[in-house]
């Protein structure tokens, strides 16, 4: 699937490091895009002050734009999301998002930028490939190889807490579910309720992407993840809508095998026999949990990339969060972000630069000599990034 920008002479990449280690790893992803361009076109990139690249006929001209978001920025500058959407929609072809940890308590006026971005840009498919590679501990004798893609519906299902007093029209528009906390009389106990939204439209379109991905893989197996034995209304609709995709596709997906797993059993089986999965499609929350869990099979969350894809825009994003415990220490693993840049380029039709980046990452990991602490090594973000850049430019 591609939104076909590969014929363009330039590509403007919006960079949204956001918070925590996102600020340390998104620059590595930016460097990878620039480096792959240098190799492809043999031209100089003018870096400071704004990383504007040379336009070259046969490749990408990375001209990244830094867009500030996240709690840190919010508290400091009170940046409104609207300005960010405008920049991305009007000035960028694609984007890279780092990581954010939104506050767990309500902060007036603040809402999660990543949830809002996915909704606002209608980036309805979160595609998360999880595969074992040499060097990351995945070859340890008791580890079973994984090679799967989690396709997570990205616009529904997840909920956000809204107290009655701060509920606003804008939030109604941004979030697909409403949640209100009330004090129930006479006991004055707090009570929380959430409405979970699953629609046929969103489930069908994520189902279609999942079928496309499954069809393109050797095993052509799609597993639908749900819990419709309990959530028969919402998950039932998800399951039914995904299952209906082949019948609506004129035989295009006849060669794809469809299986189903209840989400709890899917997690159990994922750990015991990951090889039974190929492409997994899931509603938002299950997809989030399953992909983090699957990361445990391949060494670290620090190596898992993703893209948030819509019909008109794509945004790469490492699956890991902002990791406040290691932020600022210079030891975050840049691999997930660099791979997210490659995945984004591949989605846009730039297969060859994406291959180069992926090969440089794999060749860096394989000897297991230059690993960040999450993979059991002592290397820094800069050391790993520079090694990968060196291989890309070779």
The footprint of ligand GGG (CB under 6 A) covers 99-102, 112, 114-115, 317-318, 320-322
Cβ-based nearer residue to ligand GGG, 106 or 215? 106
Residue ranges with strand state E in 25-106: 65-66, 94-99
Tokens of 383: 């050391």
Task: Compute CA 308 distance to the chain's CA centroid, rounded to the nearest angstrom.
Answer: 5
**Residue with smaller CB distance to ligand GGG, 246 or 318:** 318
Separation CA 301–CA 379 (nearest Å)? 16
CB closer to ligand GGG, 81 vs 227: 81
Task: With beta carbons less than 8 A apart as the criterion, state whether 305 and 128 touch.
Answer: yes
Q: Which of 155, 105, 150 has its CA nearest to residue 301?
A: 150
Grouping H, G, I as helix, E, B as strand and the rest as coil, residue 126 is strand
Complex with ligand GGG: residue 14 or 318, whichever CB lies closer: 318
Q: How far apart are CA 388 and CA 364, in angstroms?
A: 6
Q: Which residue is nearest to ligand GGG (CB)?
A: 112
Nearer of residues 321 and 373 to ligand GGG, judged by Cβ: 321
- Nearest approach, Cβ of 299 to ligand GGG (angstroms)? 18
CB of 331 to ligand GGG, least distance (A): 17
Nearer to ligand GGG, 154 or 223 (CB): 154
Q: How far is the CB of 113 from ligand GGG (least distance, A)?
A: 7
Q: How far is the CB of 213 from ligand GGG (least distance, A)?
A: 20
> Pick from 128, 259, 262, 153: which is nearest to 208 by CA?
153
Residue 317 Cβ vs ligand GGG, minimum distance, rounded to whole Å: 5
101 in Cβ contact with 19 (< 8 Å): yes
In the block, tokens 């940046």 appear at 79
Q: Nearest approach, Cβ of 102 to ligand GGG (angstroms)?
A: 3
274-293 CB burial, b ≥16 within 10 A, e <16: beebbbbbbbbbbbbbbbbb
The Cα–Cα gap between 61 and 253 comes to 36
Q: Shortest approach of ligand GGG to residue 320 CB, angstroms?
A: 6
Q: Which is nearer to ligand GGG, 99 or 241 (CB)?
A: 99
């Amino acid at each position: 699937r591609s939104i076909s920008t590969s014929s363009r002479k330039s590509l403007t990449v919006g960079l949204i490091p956001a918070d925590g280690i996102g600020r340390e790893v998104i620059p590595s992803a930016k460097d990878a895009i620039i480096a792959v361009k240098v190799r492809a076109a043999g031209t100089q990139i003018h870096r400071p002050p704004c990383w504007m690249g040379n336009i070259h006929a046969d490749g990408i001209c990375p001209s990244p734009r830094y867009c500030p978001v996240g709690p840190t920025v919010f508290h400091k500058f009170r940046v409104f999301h609207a300005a960010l959407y405008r920049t991305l929609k009007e000035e960028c072809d694609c984007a890279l998002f780092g990581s954010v940890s939104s506050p767990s308590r309500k902060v007036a006026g603040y809402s999660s930028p990543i949830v809002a971005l996915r909704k606002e840009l209608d980036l309805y498919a979160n595609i998360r490939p999880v595969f074992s590679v040499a060097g990351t501990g995945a070859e340890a004798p008791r580890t079973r190889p994984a090679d799967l893609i989690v396709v997570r519906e990205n616009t529904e299902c997840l909920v956000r807490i809204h107290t009655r007093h701060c509920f606003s029209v804008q939030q109604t528009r941004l979030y697909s579910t409403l949640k209100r906390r009330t004090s129930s009389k006479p006991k004055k106990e707090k009570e929380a309720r959430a409405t979970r939204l699953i629609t046929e439209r969103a489930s069908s379109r994520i189902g279609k992407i999942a079928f496309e991905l499954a069809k393109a893989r050797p095993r052509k197996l799609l597993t639908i993840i749900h819990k419709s034995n309990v959530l028969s209304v919402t998950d039932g609709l998800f399951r039914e809508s995904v299952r209906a995709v082949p019948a609506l596709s004129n035989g295009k997906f006849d060669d794809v095998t469809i299986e189903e797993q209840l989400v709890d059993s899917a997690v159990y089986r994922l750990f015991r026999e990951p090889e039974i999965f190929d492409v997994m499609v899931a509603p938002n929350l299950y997809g989030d949990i399953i992909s983090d869990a699957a990361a445990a099979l391949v060494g670290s969350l620090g190596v898992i990339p993703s893209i948030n894809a819509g019909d008109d825009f794509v945004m790469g994003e490492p699956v890991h969060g902002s990791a406040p415990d290691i932020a600022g220490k210079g030891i975050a693993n840049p691999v997930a972000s660099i791979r997210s840049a490659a995945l984004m380029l591949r989605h846009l039709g730039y297969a060859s630069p994406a291959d180069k980046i992926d090969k440089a990452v794999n060749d860096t990991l394989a000897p297991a000599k230059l690993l960040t602490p999450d993979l059991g090594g002592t290397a820094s973000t800069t050391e790993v990034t520079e090694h990968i850049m060196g291989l890309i430019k070779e």
